[in-house]
Amino acid sequence: MIRAALFFASSLFIGVGSSSVAAETIDVEYSRFYSHVKKLDNEDTQALQFAFGFVRVGEGRLCEVNGASIVTDKKTMPLEVSDEGRFTVPTEKALKLANALVRIDLNERANVCDMSVQLETKPEYLKQYYTKDDLTFLYGQYEAFFNEMGSFLSFMMPSVKGLMIQFDDKNLDFITPQGVQINNGVLHLEQDWINDAKGLTLPHAPLRVTAMASS
């Protein structure tokens, strides 16, 4: 199941291209980001976001991002970059029509970094305690997205089988009061467990919640 979830992430990969010069600052058309974020612009997926970053070619780790901003002819809007090196962009059709650029200041050569896209919950849905309704809601958000995408990409899209909760401490091992195990900073919640759950208490708020999926 984990392998399938990673396959889904790779299916949303956007290549900057190896032809990029070895400069630390690159410009990417906002329209390339908009084509993704507009898919989440509805009530059924209101808790989800796409987080963008860059993966070091051949290493799998995220490239360091010093800063990012949206640039138009009239103004520059800074974007918040996480400690991990990912950022989000607003869903604004006006920026697409204005031919805006997303300017990224990389701490590494641009020609060894490829852009990646990650589907995850928004920060306001990351907390220490989740009720059953919370878990069911998040599961339903991912299910709605996968179902919508699968309506015309059924041969490529996996199905949602649960939730994967990740912590910033990759060495975290913990058994929750509900008896589920966090191993190496990751907790997997199967759909059946979510259906029967009465809630979930974590040691602290997680780094992200993503879908656990399989083909």
The domain defined by 2-121 carries CATH number 2.60.120 = yes
What's residue 213's pLDDT? 83
Average pLDDT over residues 20-29: 72
d(C-alpha 65, C-alpha 62), whole Å: 9
Position 10 pLDDT exceeds 50? no
Position 53 pLDDT exceeds 80? yes
Position 47 pLDDT exceeds 80? yes
What's residue 155's pLDDT? 55
What's residue 178's pLDDT? 96
Counting residues of the chain whose pLDDT is more than 90, the rounded percentage is: 67
Name the band, by pLDDT with cuts 50, 70 and 90, for residue 2: very low
What's residue 11's pLDDT? 34
Name the band, by pLDDT with cuts 50, 70 and 90, for residue 4: very low
Q: Spell 130-150 as b/e; 16+ CB within 10 A means b.
A: beeebbeebbebbbbbbebbe
What's residue 6's pLDDT? 32
Counting residues of the chain whose pLDDT is more than 70, the rounded percentage is: 85
What's residue 196's pLDDT? 95
Average pLDDT, the chain: 86
Q: Please tell me which residue, 138 or 152, carries the higher pLDDT value.
A: 138
For the chain, give every domain's residue range: 2-121, 126-214
What's residue 1's pLDDT? 35
Position 138 pLDDT exceeds 60? yes
The residues, any chain, with a CB within 8 Å of residue 117's CB and separated by 6 or more, are 9, 12, 13, 14, 36, 50, 51, 52
What's residue 99's pLDDT? 95
What's residue 12's pLDDT? 36
Average pLDDT over residues 189-202: 96
**Element of type H or E holding 119:** strand 113-121
Q: Using one digit for the tens of pLDDT, what is the confidence trace for 28-45?
A: 999 999 998 999 988 999
Amino acid at 179: G
